[in-house]
Amino acid sequence: MSSTGSTGFVGIVLSGLRLRCPSCGVEPMGEGRRLKEACGRCGWRFFRLGDGDWLVTWLVAYTVAALVVIIAWPIIHFTTSLSLMAEMIVLVGLGAATVALLFPNCQGMSAAILYFLRVRWKE
Ligand SMILES: [Zn+2]
């Protein structure tokens, strides 16, 4: 297995966000919204389902959605005259849409975080 990608945590997570293999930094992690099981160039397995990788993916997705909602709430609150209930409905929809739209990128970031913890953390 060759590894020529980024070595720092931020660089590895950014390559995951861009859906590039966290190990080699070159190969796309998927085709469209569907992620491949392993890298076609270096062979790194992106997800190990039995090891609880899905939990990291959901933690990343919820964190990204929470950040979007936290940033959007004051904007909606101070620039519109919506009621609190309407603001909550808009924010819940925004959070759900964020998870739906960015889920492949969240999977990529999660695979990159797990790659960093499994390989680079020990170096
Ligand atoms: Zn690779």
Task: Kindly state whether residue 3 falls inside one of the protein's structural domains.
Answer: no
pTM: 0.82
Q: What number is the average pLDDT over the span 54-58?
A: 91
Give the residue numbers spanning the domain of 41. 9-122
Q: What is the DSSP letter of 27?
A: S
Model confidence pLDDT, tens digit, residues 66-113: 999 999 999 999 999 999 999 999 999 999 999 999 999 999 999 999
Tell me the CA–centroid distance for residue 84 and ligand 1, in Å.
47
Q: Is 20 helix (H, G, I), strand (E, B) or coil?
A: strand
Query: How many domains are contained in the chain?
Result: 1
Task: Kindly state whether residue 13 falls inside one of the protein's structural domains.
Answer: yes
Tell me the CA–centroid distance for residue 39 and ligand 1, in Å.
5
Task: Kindly state whether residue 116 falls inside one of the protein's structural domains.
Answer: yes
Q: Which residue, 110, 23, 30, 19, is CA-closest to 64?
A: 110
Output 33 or 19, whichever has higher pLDDT. 19
Task: Kindly state whether residue 87 falls inside one of the protein's structural domains.
Answer: yes
Tell me the CA–centroid distance for residue 38 and ligand 1, in Å.
8
